[in-house]
């Protein structure tokens, strides 16, 4: 059962094909936790060159998908009338445990570690079935401003 389908996700995130990497949200607890899904298919454009004959989803795109799921959590937690702008400000402790290949279904579990406006720190884990394939701590700045310096101290 989905909490959020593609149309609502697109109303929150500015990303579009081929860079929208969240297919659905299964669980949402504002200010605390989100579970999002990315279905990985052979039709993904990056598989043409990564790698021919042995397609593997690039780790940087797994992290991007994780950040997009985290952005949905931030948007739904803030309750703004307008869509905020999210800037990725950091990724720490990224670990890749197993390759992600066509046919896999990535499940992202994102938990808020710390939130002090406008910054969010989240712990993300990506699973294929029950196996952990990637984990990282993601930091983002959420604002309604379009031209903001992303300086953390």
Q: Is 50 within 8 Å of 62 (Cβ atoms)?
A: no
| Dist CA 129 CA 28 (whole Å) | 19
Residues with Cβ within 8 Å of 126's Cβ and at least 6 positions away in sequence, in order, are 62, 65, 66, 100, 106, 107, 108, 109, 132, 133, 134, 135
Is 15 in the active site?
A: no
Torsion of CA 56, 135, 132, 125, to 10 degrees: -110
The active-site residue, picked from 15, 24, 50, 115, is 50
Which ranges in the chain belong to alpha helices (H)? 6-12, 59-78
First to last CA, the chain: 41
Tell me the catalytic residues: 50
């Amino acid at each position: 059962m989905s909490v959020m389908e593609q149309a609502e996700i697109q109303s929150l995130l500015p990303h579009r094909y081929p860079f929208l990497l969240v297919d659905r949200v299964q669980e949402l607890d504002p200010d605390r936790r989100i579970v999002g899904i990315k279905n990985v298919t052979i039709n993904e454009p990056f598989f043409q060159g990564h790698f021919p004959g042995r397609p593997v989803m690039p780790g940087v795109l797994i992290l991007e998908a994780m950040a997009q799921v985290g952005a949905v959590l931030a948007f739904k937690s803030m309750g703004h009338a307008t869509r905020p702008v999210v800037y990725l400000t950091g990724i720490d402790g990224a670990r890749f445990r197993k390759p992600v290949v066509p046919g896999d279904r990535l499940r992202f579990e994102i938990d808020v570690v710390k939130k002090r406006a406008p910054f969010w720190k989240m712990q993300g884990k990506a699973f294929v079935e029950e196996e952990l394939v990637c984990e990282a701590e993601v930091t983002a700045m959420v604002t309604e401003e379009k031209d903001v310096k992303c300086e953390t101290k």
